[in-house]
Amino acid sequence: MAVVRCPRHNIPYNDQNPRGCPACAAEREGPDPTAEAIRELQRASRGVARPPEIEILPPPPPEEEPRLPPGAWPPPVTQPPRIPTPHPTRLEQTTEFIRHRFVWFALGVAGVVALPLIYQLARPTFVSQQIPPSPSGDAKPVPLGPNVPLDGVFAMLGTAPGRVNPDSRTLARYVFADSLTVDALNGTVYAVTVTSPSQSWRGLRVGMDSVATEGALSLLGPTRTRPVVRTTAPRRLGAFQVYPTLASLPRLTRIAEVRPPNGCYDVVAELAPRVLGWVTDGKQRWVAIARGSVAPSLALVRIRAVSRALPGPYAAGPPVCGTDQP
């Protein structure tokens, strides 16, 4: 028994099968439900198999639930549970602030430190310096006065270069050590000026208070007072009464008149408020004379013996004695 292949349908079949080729037999017999299967077998035998067609349908869209407006929501029956949170301590809060706000913390610390310093620098500062200082220790007496020959002065004090007196060109001025100034006219002493507390003249000494000065002047002769010279009024700066400069301090002048037979000269004692120190306000420096509303104390700042037998700029009038007076 041999197997043959149908030349029309290319289907193998037994040559002893009375029906012959199954496909040919089906065509002869009419439509058959198995015909499609046979045709599939025919295609499979030829090697041309067609995959079944699969239709992929898209997924259906999800159904949206109707949304309720916020006002239609039912209120919750109970509060939702909350996880307990620990409360940080003050130290933890400070540490956290420093860790996250280090720059601001540093600026705050710098401001706290700088504010008192700025306040101290901005407020007036006081430096104590008493002018003139109170007399202390021994003073060297000046053994000369007006109306004596200039050669005797050089013999006692030594020579000094002469210069022109700034108040009168007819007088020659000689400046010795310790702020001792001698003005001479034609070889005769016209005035002797002492401005240093290290020297004394006839019991007067720079730095004495007004009471001691008045007592020493009364021993020399009758006294009188010149009007007070005031260039400006004091002002209040902080806790002090101040003046702009030393030259602006008011001066009180007490004069003792010495007349023959004791001599022919005037003793001019200038008193001014004793300076307590210096007050610095910004870039300006002020002279402090008293604290608060306390009256300042007066001190002797200059002693000048002026001849009344010679003409000159320091006398109150013309000569009242002869030049032969000592």
Burial of 281 (0-12, 13-18, 19+ CB in 10 A): middle
When mean pLDDT is compared across 13-27, 147-161, 295-309, the lowest value belongs to 13-27
Asked if pLDDT for residue 265 goes beyond 90, the answer is yes
> Quick one: pLDDT at residue 133?
86
Average pLDDT over residues 85-98: 80
Task: Determine the Cα–Cα distance for residues 262 and 301; give it in Å rounded to an integer.
Answer: 25
Q: Rounded to 10 degrees, what is the CA torsion of 186, 151, 265, 251? A: 90
> Quick one: pLDDT at residue 323?
54
127 by DSSP, 3-state: which? strand
Rg of the chain, C-alpha, whole Å: 64
Domain ranges of the chain: 3-46, 90-122, 128-307
Q: Within 10 A of 154 (CB to CB), how many other CB atoms are there? A: 14
- Say what percent of the chain tops pLDDT 70: 83
- The one-letter amino acid code at 71 reads G
Average pLDDT over residues 89-118: 76
Task: Determine the Cα–Cα distance for residues 252 and 228; give it in Å rounded to an integer.
Answer: 5
With beta carbons less than 8 A apart as the criterion, state whether 23 and 43 touch.
no
Provide, for the chain, the percentages of residues in helix, strand and coil under a 3-state DSSP scheme, each rounded to the nearest 5: 25, 30, 50
Quickly state the pLDDT bin for 71 (edges 50, 70, 90). low
Task: Determine the Cα–Cα distance for residues 21 and 35; give it in Å rounded to an integer.
Answer: 12
Asked if pLDDT for residue 271 goes beyond 80, the answer is yes
Structure tokens at 180: 């001792």
Burial of 317 (0-12, 13-18, 19+ CB in 10 A): exposed
When mean pLDDT is compared across 64-78, 120-134, 255-269, 276-290, the lowest value belongs to 64-78
With beta carbons less than 8 A apart as the criterion, state whether 197 and 205 touch.
yes
Which residue has tokens 């030259």?
Answer: 247
Higher pLDDT, 254 or 316: 254
Higher pLDDT, 95 or 301: 301
Which residue has tokens 């300006």?
Answer: 284
Asked if pLDDT for residue 326 goes beyond 60, the answer is no
> Quick one: pLDDT at residue 239?
81
Average pLDDT over residues 216-240: 83
> Quick one: pLDDT at residue 46?
63
Task: Determine the Cα–Cα distance for residues 243 and 191; give it in Å rounded to an integer.
Answer: 30
Average pLDDT over residues 65-72: 70
Burial of 195 (0-12, 13-18, 19+ CB in 10 A): middle
Task: Determine the Cα–Cα distance for residues 113 and 120; give it in Å rounded to an integer.
Answer: 12
pTM of this prediction?
A: 0.61
Return contacts of 100-106, CB within 8 angstroms, 24+ apart.
none
- How high does pLDDT run on average in the chain? 81
Higher pLDDT, 307 or 69: 307
At 136-186, the pLDDT tens digits run 888 888 888 899 999 888 888 888 888 888 888 889 999 987 788 999 998
> Quick one: pLDDT at residue 216?
92
Asked if pLDDT for residue 114 goes beyond 70, the answer is yes
Task: Determine the Cα–Cα distance for residues 99 and 106; give it in Å rounded to an integer.
Answer: 11
Return contacts of 101-109, CB within 8 angstroms, 24+ apart.
none
Task: Determine the Cα–Cα distance for residues 256 and 221; give it in Å rounded to an integer.
Answer: 5
Task: Determine the Cα–Cα distance for residues 325 and 263; give it in Å rounded to an integer.
Answer: 6
> Quick one: pLDDT at residue 20?
79
> Quick one: pLDDT at residue 32?
59
> Quick one: pLDDT at residue 191?
94
Average pLDDT over residues 39-47: 66
Quickly state the pLDDT bin for 52 (edges 50, 70, 90). low
Higher pLDDT, 186 or 9: 186
> Quick one: pLDDT at residue 129?
83
